[in-house]
Amino acid sequence: MANARAIDGSSIEHGTRDIPETTMWSDFLALIKVGIVNSNLITTFTGLWLALYYSGKGFIANIDIVLYTLIGSTLVIAGSCAINNFYDRDIDPLMERTKSRPTVTGKINPYQALWMGIVLLTLGFVFLLMTTITATIIGLIGVVTYVFLYTMWSKRLYTINTVIGSVSGAVPPLIGWAAIDSNLSVVAWVLFLIMFIWQPPHFLALAMRRCEEYRAANIPMLPVVHGFEITKRQIMVWVACLLPLPFYLYELGIGFLILATALTVGWGVIGLLGFKVKDDIKWATWMFVYSINYLTILFVAMVIFTIV
């Protein structure tokens, strides 16, 4: 197969019948990885909301900062994802979950995708600059980590790529907090750690499910290089590390602590089943789905428990 980087205008040759019918809008959403954008928007808002809560500031009184932060962080994340799609267009055709991306099918020219990413990043940083310098710098750290340290460097070389990529995925709540309060408190860093530690077990479960695809694309994910048993053990270590973190958020109340602990214990119980079940892929699917619900419930609960 020809290297996609050598193909001008389209990343891979396709027969017309192989290209799914899509709209321009759906192609754009695929380019910016709207699922990732939405999940990070939740964590950004939670960081922002908790900064308002702990500092005693009003939501309506700071609605301009709220909007600048949410718009800015959304654009920065979207731009980073677009550049990721531009760079990965040579390996995306080899994986089932990525082979329909518009940079692969030719629906979006690779260099158009690159420039879209650059424009989105630029606009995003303009909005973040209307909040605080700290929030902008944290956003820049996230972009550099995701685009350069993860996408362009570690992803294709080291199994630790998952951990490196987790840094970028953990900065959204810090951006939200810093937009309100540049003096990042312990709570802000706890939000960062929750996001950072949550990502390896989430993505390692995904890597198990897509192990053969990663192998075909020559991406050294942990299950590909070291097998499922080592991966299961590492998943369990990461999940266990989440257990004490909610207790630093004790001001949210005993109800939140009970919920957060139950969520983590539940994840751990399912994780332990992985050492007994025969169908590793089915187990990895359980872990992956649970991890998505874990994050959503936990961060939404942080907001709810400040209101009730």
Q: CA-to-CA distance for 270 and 221, rounded, in angstroms?
A: 22
Same domain membership, residue 242 and residue 303: yes
Q: From 183, 212, 239, give the residue that closes a domain.
A: 183
pTM: 0.91
Q: CA-to-CA distance for 292 and 163, rounded, in angstroms?
A: 18
In the predicted model, residues of the chain with pLDDT beneath 70 are: 1-19
Same domain membership, residue 155 and residue 50: yes
99 is a domain residue: yes
Same domain membership, residue 156 and residue 15: yes
Same domain membership, residue 173 and residue 231: no
The per-residue pLDDT for 6 is: 36
161 is a domain residue: yes
Residue 40's domain comprises: 11-183
The per-residue pLDDT for 308 is: 82
Structure tokens at 37: 């954008």
Measured between alpha carbons, how far is residue 196 from residues 101, 170, 242, 270 in Å?
27, 5, 10, 20
Same domain membership, residue 163 and residue 19: yes
The per-residue pLDDT for 14 is: 42
Query: Domains in the chain: how many in total?
Result: 2
Residue type, 279: D
Same domain membership, residue 17 and residue 137: yes
Q: From 139, 154, 183, give the residue that closes a domain.
A: 183
Q: What is the pLDDT of residues 241-278, one digit of tens each?
A: 999 999 999 999 999 999 999 999 999 999 999 999 99
Cβ proximity of 108 and 27 under 8 Å:
yes
The per-residue pLDDT for 113 is: 96
Signed CA dihedral, 41, 44, 49, 50: sign only: positive
Give me the CATH number covering residue 224: 1.20.120
Question: What angle is formed at CA 79 by the lines to CA 73 and CA 80, rounded to 5 degrees?
Answer: 90
Cβ proximity of 91 and 217 under 8 Å:
yes
Same domain membership, residue 112 and residue 194: no
Same domain membership, residue 281 and residue 257: yes
The per-residue pLDDT for 21 is: 81
The per-residue pLDDT for 18 is: 60
Place of tokens 């973190």: 245
Q: CA-to-CA distance for 305 and 254, rounded, in angstroms?
A: 10
1 is a domain residue: no
Q: From 159, 183, 207, give the residue that closes a domain.
A: 183
Question: What angle is formed at CA 149 by the lines to CA 111 and CA 4, rounded to 5 degrees?
Answer: 35
Strands, E assignment, 138-241? none
Residue type, 194: I
6 is a domain residue: no
Same domain membership, residue 206 and residue 59: no
